[in-house]
Amino acid sequence: MKKLSFLLVLILGLGLVLAACGGGDDKDSKDNGKEDNAGDNATSEEASDFSVAMVTDIGGVDDKSFNQSAWEGIKAFGEANGLSKGNGFDYAQSNDKSEYVPNLTRLVRDEYSLIFGIGFELKEDLQTIADQYSDTNFAIVDDVVEAPNAASITFKEHEGSFLVGVAAALKTKTNKLGFVGGMDSPLINKFEAGFIAGAKSINPDIEIDVKYAEHFGDATKGKTIAATMYDSGIDIIYHAAGGTGNGVFNQAKDIKQNDPEREIWVIGVDRDQHEEGQIGDHNVTLTSMIKRVDVAVQDVSTMALNGEFPAGEQLEFGIEDNGIGFATTNKEAMTEEIINTVNEWQEKILNGEIEVPSTRDELKEFEAAL
């Protein structure tokens, strides 16, 4: 009995503390957030009732990869329309899977007009929420939801991966390539299939080692896998592993620092990862498979603003929409010759001459036809 009363007092005490904190005056601080956009308000009256927000996946908004890219897209859209963070656009960060639903619901209740879910992990939760709140528009990146108020944004990552695969096959000296994936999932398999198809189109005998880290944020693991691959004679690694890929860059840079003569490369993903590869005067980033999540997010937001939200539709961004591409920032490594060849293959994809495989089964057929 005494125990029980102890617990009761504990709850009451905690409640009291929190309540006391909650009751304070919050009038002055409320204004803080609004100050910076006060000037813009006049110019953007037509947009004032439109607002857009996104929920990140576990990677977080500064993952140097696609969450960040999506957020850049929303920021660019907001700034072009005179909105500011917290007043017109915002994001909610998820630290674990269970936070997707509360985050999505929170944004619905803050009355955002359009809410993006970034990443395939949000698929189920976004589907549920979209069914519950039919008055709000939703969009998911990297997967498909079926709801009359939701749009699905996917990319033809296999096409971009094909192009960097071509570049890798042209650049390699050892004829051994590596692929490091985040999670063994249908999405990342698209990268894998495209990359292998691209490399084998140039040289059918090329060896490609495929490893999955089972994690999108474990740089240590990325480094270990990269170390094993480079030790076995692989000279180019393509990573599709988000934060885990940072470990691949670290390992490549370490090797390069100890042995500047050795030619090893990393191929980046999602954004142009040129900066990640800089070590002294060298840069180990050969190229990057660029996936313009920002372009897609911005496009869809603009459509929604103009009242043309593609509700219930599935949008697939590819090379032709500028949604997918490859980076040519590293001029020394990506020679004129390589770029020209890659461009030739890009033409072949665009005019339908080749169909890039997007699953392991399609890849088998593709390889058999070579």
Binding other proteins (rule: CB under 8 A), the pick from 43, 48, 95, 232 is 95
Region of 121-129, 153-161, 260-268, 332-340 interacting with other proteins (CB under 8 A) = 121-129
Which residue, 51 or 328, has its beta carbon nearer to other proteins?
Answer: 51
What letter would DSSP give residue 87?
B
Q: Is 214 in the site for other proteins (CB under 8 A)?
A: yes
Q: Is 184 in the site for other proteins (CB under 8 A)?
A: yes
Tell the burial category of 191 from Cβ atoms under 10 Å away from its Cβ (0-12, 13-18, 19+): buried
Closest approach of other proteins to the CB of residue 90, in Å? 6
Q: How many angstroms separate the CA atoms of 60 and 66, rounded?
A: 9
Specify which residues 282 forms β-bridges with.
Answer: 279
How many residues belong to the site for other proteins (CB under 8 A)?
60
| Close Cβ partners of 223 (under 8 Å, ≥ 6 residues apart) | 247, 248, 250, 251
Q: Hey, which residues between 125 and 154 contact other proteins (CB under 8 A)?
A: 132
Q: Is 312 in the site for other proteins (CB under 8 A)?
A: no
Closest approach of other proteins to the CB of residue 185, in Å? 5
Query: What are the angstrom distances between the C-alpha of 250 and each of 125, 176, 245?
Result: 35, 20, 9
Q: Hey, which residues between 32 and 51 contact other proteins (CB under 8 A)?
A: 32-33
Q: Is 103 in the site for other proteins (CB under 8 A)?
A: yes
Q: Is 1 in the site for other proteins (CB under 8 A)?
A: no
Give which of 65, 251, 77 is closest to 157, Cα–Cα. Answer: 65
Q: How many angstroms separate the CA atoms of 365 and 362, rounded?
A: 5
| Close Cβ partners of 73 (under 8 Å, ≥ 6 residues apart) | 293, 294, 295, 296, 297, 298, 301
Q: Is 191 in the site for other proteins (CB under 8 A)?
A: no
Query: Strands, DSSP E only, in 136-272?
Result: 137-141, 150-155, 176-181, 207-212, 236-240, 265-270
Q: How many angstroms separate the CA atoms of 348 and 362, rounded?
A: 18
Which residue, 43 or 95, has its beta carbon nearer to other proteins?
Answer: 95
Q: Is 210 in the site for other proteins (CB under 8 A)?
A: no
Q: Is 10 in the site for other proteins (CB under 8 A)?
A: yes
Residues lying near other proteins in the complex (CB under 8 A): 2-4, 6-7, 9-11, 13-14, 17-19, 21-26, 28-30, 32-33, 58, 60-61, 86, 90, 92-93, 95-99, 101-103, 105-107, 109-110, 120-121, 123-124, 132, 182-186, 189, 214-218
